[in-house]
Structure 1
Amino acid sequence: MFDFANSGYTTVVITAIFNAYFVAVVAGNQEWGTFAWTAALAVSYALIMLTGPALGAYADAYAAKKRLLLLTTIGCVIFTAMLSLVGPGDLWLAVVLIILTNFFFGCGENLIAAFLPELAQGEALGKVSGWGWSLGYVGGLVSLGCSLAYVTWAQGEGMQAAQFVPITMLITAGLFVVSSVPTFLYLKERALPQAHLAGRSVVREAFSRLGETFSHMQDYRDLGRFLACLVFYQAGIQAVITLAAIYAQQVMGFSTSDTMLLVLVVNITAAAGAFAFGNLQDRMGHIPTIALTLVGWIIMVLVAWMADSSAMFWLAANIAGICLGASQSAGRALVGYFSPRPRRAEFFGLWGLAVKLSSILGPVTYGLVSWISRGDHRLAMLITGIYFVIGLMILMGVDVQRGRRAALQGEAIPEG
């Protein structure tokens, strides 16, 4: 249900509406607008990278995942609602609010992922992760569908984007609040507080545990290798997620409602992809499943780059949808499979670190290329597609059985 709740934020704010609004209205369609959008997100992801692993270490030590999840949810909801204050030319207000709201969202994303191994046994991680991602895309559909209904009505009344986009931010924040209630009512914190390091403050203890994790990373070399793989392929995914609406409007000439309809349909294919590949992953294997989705991503980039009609772009977008749900669900499940029980939140903090690094790398690469090339979004799309190729090459060196043995050995080592 939390996947359902928080997916409205990424769908409406990051993927479908506010990103294109930022470039076209807030930045006035300036050539630097796309780069400014990606730079704002990069700052928020850098802040998450600095705090995420230590936050996970603290959550493990004090069994505080649920309490911290509540705080991050409140922060994300408040600042998402405040995006409704952003109008034409309010560049710095938009930048500050996006940094804050995306920071709280990303921290919450790390924390909710750390619950996964508590809710599913090792061989069922892919299935349960797939259920979560699948339901998440349904949540994205609900938020986007409500927003699309309002935008369609507003456009019929002659309103402009500066009038109707702010209301969609309030709709998204409200649905986030309502949909997250079941999580905080029924989800249990099954972890137990762990032995603390005597004489150390909370912050010093968290960083001490994090330092210990990094010092033992050689014992989890397949986890480390997969995290490196994830940085690259997620860089491509994050570029697509954060810039899809911008590409659709700037290159293909889509209107706001056209773009919202496209993303709405893509959420359906993404939900189907997450559900189908989640079940396939447990039978086919983690690595073949992820490899298959990366091949799909490479095909999608080539189709989008060559697209000279809306039909071709619709095809590319739906290929992306199928691969999106599958690759993200499979990646989260594999990290859980490689994580020793006493350090689950901490290791998912490292997963979040990798995802956030990719969230800087991919979109900023796209933004820089589009700026330097004076708005050549096709070239930017093609270049960011290289990240999928690099990820596929690194993936071939990951040994799932060896990585799982390392996780089980880590569970047998007493904490101290």
Structure 2
Amino acid sequence: MLLFGLDRGKGRNRPRWGAKMDSAKKRIWGWYFFDWASQPYNTLLLTFIFGPYVVSVVGDGSAAQSIWGYGIGAAGILIAILSPLLGAVADKAGGRMGFIWLFSIMYVLGAWMLWYSAPANFNVWSVMIWFCIGLIGMEFATTFTNAILPDLAPKEDLGRISGSGWAFGYLGGIVALVIMLLLLAEGQNGKTLIGISPIFGLDPETREGTRAVGPLTAIWYAVFMIPYFLWVREPKKADAVSIQEAIRSAWPELKSSLRQLPSQKSLFNYLLSSMFYRDALNGMYTFGGIYAAGVLGWQTTQVGIFGILAALTGAIFAWLGGKADSRFGPKPVIILNVLVLTAVAVAVVFVSRDSVFGVSVGPESKLPDIAFYVLGALIGAGGGSLQSSSRTMMVRQAEPEKMTEAFGLYALSGKATSFIAPLAIAVATDITGSQQLGVTPLIGLFLIGLVLLLWVKPDGERIS
């Protein structure tokens, strides 16, 4: 059984005992550490701590949800435009690690600057700019680290490795979230979840405990990326060209690849499918905490518990999904999880403080909270397994010599319409004046992605 490494099946071309095996294991573990290091941006900043903090400072859940949607939508457009071009440059120059260093700096800087978001002088647009700088850094770094996946092991092991990486990342998110809730994030009473004042003498009156999520995320990434940079080595590219020549030739070749995409029907339909269902999933992650804070009136600590539950089920089912991926292939795993998440998107609309699935409840009822915790667990389970299998499916669809460009296109497909979910939620929320009705566009996005999967071949167009 494989958890966070290679198994030793017979008849496969794997490293054996000794230095080669140790080197292979270290390389895989180093690759896992990117997921561990980067996950807090999603867990702490995007969803469970900083997003709800913005709602509490702005004071209007609908207004905060709209602004959040517009800002992240704009960042998504930039990511969509540049990811495939940068990927094409890296494929020709063989310089993935240099790009990862650059985008890591953006991640750390963007996260750190969120400390300067005190309620007294809170400027939501300035906060969003720094938040998006870090988000862009994380997304670009993810494109380049994903492209290294097929170099780690034979194809039949990639599902388990990808699933284990996602699981390890979720565990990192849980640990970081527990630290925030127990030691830093203050509730309305100025105390953390265990009833103490924020550590290091941080002032709860100015929300310093909660704002410390920015520096914590930055430091976490900087520390835990050390194994990645020490242990992961990019294979040498025999026909690598200079970075200047790569930049000059990348755009013409990328245009040629884009023109040929419609003729590669399986790859084309997979990119379209994942474009829609990943956009819907990101919408769930982005607005989950904001929805809970605005509709159910949850405080930061409650949203944090919700996040721990979702991350825990995400870790478990990313690992289980990875095992299923290696055994059955990624396509059936993707289909099952899209179906689950579509059902969750429908269910979320029917959970509010006043009613649960059409049944009226009193103001003191815990049923809405329990229902949303269950839905959060399902979001984590479906999301973890879906994302893990999606990147192994991309490996099966892509041409090996253009893997970084392919993952750039994968990022493009994830971001070309990434503004649709947040902007659709923003517009729907503005029009209806309801956070509940505002999230209904996610249902349609999941269904479109599901239909497009019908034309995706499990192993792509290439002959295995």
When normalised by structure 2's length, the TM-score is 0.83
Q: Which of residues 113, 124, 130 is equivalent to 2:146?
A: 113
How far does residue 237 in structure 1 lie from its aligned partner after superposition? Answer: 0.3
Question: What's 2:115 paired with?
Answer: 84
Contact (CA 8 Å) 1:267, 1:321: kept in 2 or not?
yes
Q: Distance in 2 between matches of 1:30 and 1:132?
A: 34
Aligned to 1:173: 218
* Counterpart secondary structure, 1:190: coil
1:270 is matched with 314
Instruction: Give distance in 2, aligned partners of 1:127 and 1:222.
Output: 23
CA deviation vs aligned residue, 1:299-355 (integer Å, no higher than 9, x gap): 212222222311111111111111000111111110011111110000000001111
Letter in 2 for 1:129: S
1:41 Cα deviation from its structure 2 partner: 0.9
Matches within 5 A, 1:143-292: 143-151=176-184, 155=191, 156-157=196-197, 159-160=204-205, 162-192=207-237, 194=239, 196=241, 201-292=245-336
Question: What is the distance in 2 between the residues matched to 1:3 and 1:197?
Answer: 30
Q: Unaligned 5+ residue runs, structure 2?
A: 1-32, 198-202, 357-367
Correspondence 1:324 to 2:383: yes
Any conservation in 2 of the 1:7–1:136 contact (CA below 8 Å)? yes
Name the aligned partner's letter for residue 109 of structure 2. Answer: I
The equivalent of 2:440 in structure 1 is 382
Q: Match of 1:396?
A: 454
Pick the structure with more helix per residue. Answer: 1
Could you tell me which residue of structure 1 aligns to residue 48 of structure 2?
Answer: 16
CA contact (8 A) 1:196 1:205 kept: no
| Alpha-carbon distance in structure 2 between the residues aligned to 1:233 and 1:160 | 41
Where 1:32 maps in the other structure, the secondary structure is helix
Q: Which stretch of structure 1 is more off in the superposition, 185-194 or 173-182?
A: 185-194
Preserved CA contact (<8 Å) 2:55 2:294 = no
Asked if 2 retains the 8 angstrom alpha-carbon contact of 1:146 and 1:171, the reply is: no
Structure 2 counterpart of 1:414: none
Which secondary structure does the structure 1 equivalent of 2:207 belong to? helix
Structure 2: how far apart are the matches of 1:45 and 1:152? 28
Q: Does 1:97 align with 2:130?
A: yes
**SS at 2:349's partner residue?**
helix
Indicate how the Cα distance of structure 1 residues 147 and 288 shifts in structure 2: closer, same or farther if over 3 A, else same.
same
Contact 1:305-1:381 within 8 A present in 2 as well = yes
**Alignment RMSD, CA only?**
1.9
Q: The residue matched to 2:212 in structure 1 has which SS? A: helix
Establish whether residue 127 from structure 1 lines up as the match of residue 160 from structure 2.
Answer: yes
Q: Does 1:364 align with 2:423?
A: yes
Alpha-carbon displacement from aligned partner over 1:76-112 (angstroms, at most 9, x marks no partner)? 1012101101123312211211221111111111111
Contact 2:425 2:440 in 1 (8 A): no
Moved more, 298-307 or 72-81: 298-307
| Structure 2 residue matching 1:188: 3-state secondary structure | coil
TM-score, normalised by the number of residues in structure 1:
0.92
Give the deviation of 1:193 after TM superposition.
5.2
- The secondary structure found in structure 2 opposite 1:394 is helix
The Cα offsets for residues 107-132 of structure 1, whole Å up to 9 and x where unpaired, read as: 11111111111112222221111111
Rounded to whole Å, the distance in 1 between the matches of 2:440 and 2:258 is: 34
| More divergent stretch after superposition (99-108 vs 83-92) | 83-92
Q: Which amino acid aligns with 1:96?
A: I
Identity of aligned residues (%): 25
Q: Distance in 2 between matches of 1:194 and 1:164?
A: 51
Q: Residue 61 of structure 1: which of 89, 92, 101 is its match?
A: 92
2:9 aligned residue: none
- What is the alpha-carbon distance in structure 2 between the residues aligned to residue 161 and residue 377 of structure 1? 28
Relative to structure 1, the CA distance from residue 5 to residue 361 in structure 2 (aligned partners, 3 Å threshold; closer, same or farther) is: same
Counterpart CA distance in 2 for 1:377 and 1:193 is 54
Alignment coverage as a number of residue pairs: 403
Worse-matched range after superposition: 167-176 or 83-92 = 83-92
Give the secondary-structure state (helix, strand or coil) at the position aligned to 1:56: helix
Q: Match for residue 346 of structure 1?
A: 405
Contact in 2 for aligned 1:62/1:193 (Cα 8 Å):
no
Superposed CA deviations along residues 348-405 of structure 1, whole A, max 9, x for unmatched, are 000011112343211221122112211x121122332221111111111212245343
